[in-house]
Amino acid sequence: MSKQVIVNALISAVTFLVLAGWLLGISMQAEPGGVQLVFAEPSHLHWLWGGMAAVFFGQLFLPNLFGKLRSGVSANKPSFKLPSMDRKGGNLIACFVLAGAIIWPFMVSRGSVDLATLTLIYVMLGLGLNVVVGLAGLLDLGYVGFYAVGAYSYALLAAEGWGFWTCLPIAGAMAALFGFLLGFPVLRLRGDYLAIVTLGFGEIIRLLLNNLTELTGGPNGISGIAKPTLFGLEFNRKLKDGGFDTFHNFFDISYNSQYKVIFLYLMALLLVVLTIIVINRLLRMPIGRAWEALREDEIACRSLGLSPTVVKLSAFTIGAAFAGFAGSFFAARQGFISPESFTFIESAIILAIVVLGGMGSQIGVILAAIMMTVLPELAREFNEYRMLMFGLMMVFMMIWRPQGLLPMSRPHMQLKQEA
């Protein structure tokens, strides 16, 4: 083990301590003289030390482990091989994580599951925006607009009596359509200019929602949006008029409000897993490579016969579709939406997730989404100070790891071994 690895691991551990210490390590106590900062209770500190140890040893051994796996594979392959999702090691880990994520909600409190559902929505949004910003390199500050389109599509269709699973693709398609429409005017723009126009687009959608009172209910929003059902089984205590049956009645168990929360969580998990699979495929398809090529050099793209128009529009469209899915799920989960939920700060948070996670990296985006939603919740006790900490954390992050938590790794293609 080289010195470099140990130093790296140490730096990572200290970074973790500094980042998490703000939130977990100290707490505030109201005393007669005012608020005082004190060390948090031991249970929090244990988590902190445990996390530090995990980061340290993870950094120490993981690179080694992956290096071995990789070199072991490449030794005896006959020819070029496409990078594929089914690398043995990665797949196994993914299965474990997935199994953990499925079992987890049955063991924790309702609040945690609810928060996890929200996190999963952000994961989906982050992954979608990652297509536009991380892969295609198109800085989009109005992503929340597509999220809103998806949410309102579902809310309006559900009011007409449509079910969630029929509305989901429609909401995605609506958002994709808006992404496509936004794509046209910004085809010639790049960088800062593109950012400003997309920012405007997000605001236009929000203002439209606010002012089209007849359709969207204006600032009052839409309430009483139908919750998703499991093959027609509802999760309410009492059956709605004309409903098929309720979940607890059908399976003959006593009613528990937790079922609904867990169901929503599992649904979000399913959507996230689908998103990950689809984007993973996209990355390995010609279109995914074209997005990245466009990010790298538009002129070279053109000189090789790739149409920048098609590539850009497809990135906007597909990115927006994922926001639409996330939006319709969000509406279904909340049961109430209003333009308030789709302000610029949402766009900023989603963008922060992508940048923090590492542009283009999926695991990075997932980790960052978890960080961005869970940490502020953990730090609730700090009240208004938590946004300050949040900002500080981001600043430190950008100083120490400007490439993001887990920068994207290039697919590795096996080379021919001459006999």
Partner 1 sequence: MSLLLDVTGLTMRFGGLLAVDNVALRLHEKEVVSVIGPNGAGKTTVFNCLTGFYQPTSGQIVYRGEHLEGMKGHLIARKGIVRTFQHVRLFKDMTVVENLLVAQHRHLDTNFFSGLLNTKRFRKSERSALEFAKYWLDKVGLTEFANRKAGNLAYGQQRRLEIARCMVTRPEILMLDEPAAGLNPRETEDLDRLILELRDQEDVSILLIEHDMKLVMGISDRIYVVNQGCPLADGTPEQVRNNPEVIKAYLGEF
Please give the DSSP secondary-structure letter assigned to residue 388: H
Of 82, 107, 345, 399, which lies in the binding site for partner 1, with binding defined by CB under 8 A?
Answer: 82
Binding of residue 46 to partner 1 (CB under 8 A): no
For partner 1, the closer of residues 99 and 285 by Cβ is: 285
Q: Kindly determine how many residues on this chain lie close enough to bind partner 1 according to the rule CB under 8 A.
A: 34
With both helix axes pointing from N to C terminus, report the angle between 143-159 and 344-357 in degrees, rounded to the nearest 10: 120
Q: Is 290 in the site for partner 1 (CB under 8 A)?
A: yes
Q: For residues 221 and 360, which CB has a smaller minimum distance to partner 1 in the complex?
A: 360
Which residue from 18, 115, 208, 301 is in contact with partner 1, where contact means CB under 8 A? 301
CB-CB contact of 263 with 114 (8 Å): no
Q: Are strands 222-223 and 336-337 parallel, antiparallel or unpaired?
A: antiparallel
CA-nearest of 130, 127, 136 to 191 is 136
Site membership for partner 1, residue 187 (CB under 8 A): no
State in angstroms the smallest separation of the CB of 324 from partner 1: 17
CA–CA distance from 132 to each of 14, 281, 360 (Å)? 33, 16, 9
Residue 225: CA count within 13 A, CB half-sphere: 28
* Binding flag, residue 94, partner 1 (CB under 8 A): no
Nearer residue to partner 1 within complex by CB, 295 or 333: 295
Sign for the CA dihedral angle at 255, 257, 258, 259 comes to positive
The reply to whether 196 sits near partner 1 by the rule CB under 8 A is no
Nearer to partner 1, 46 or 281 (CB): 281
Residues 245-284: x/- map of binding to partner 1 (CB under 8 A)?
---------------------------------x--xx-x
Q: By CB under 8 A, is residue 300 in contact with partner 1? A: yes
Among 101, 306, 374, 389, binds partner 1 (CB under 8 A): 306
- Give the SS3 label for residue 249: helix
Residue tagged 């080694």 (tokens) = 64
Question: Least distance to partner 1 from the beta carbon of 298, Å?
Answer: 10
**Which class for 317: exposed (0-12), middle (13-18), buried (19 or more C-beta within 10 A)?**
buried
The reply to whether 191 sits near partner 1 by the rule CB under 8 A is no
Would you list the DSSP string of 132-158? IIIIS----S-HHHHHHHHHHHHHHHH
173 binds partner 1 (CB under 8 A): no
Does the protein bind partner 1 through residue 286 (CB under 8 A)? yes
**Dihedrals phi, psi of 346, to nearest 5 degrees:** -65, -45
* Stretch in the footprint of partner 1 (CB under 8 A) among 189-197, 296-304, 319-327, 365-373: 296-304
Nearer to partner 1, 311 or 379 (CB): 311
Secondary structure class of 261 (helix, strand, coil): helix
Contact status: 321 vs partner 1 (CB under 8 A): no
- Binding residues for partner 1, rule: CB under 8 A, are 79-82, 278, 281-282, 284-287, 289-290, 292-293, 295-297, 299-308, 410-413, 415-416
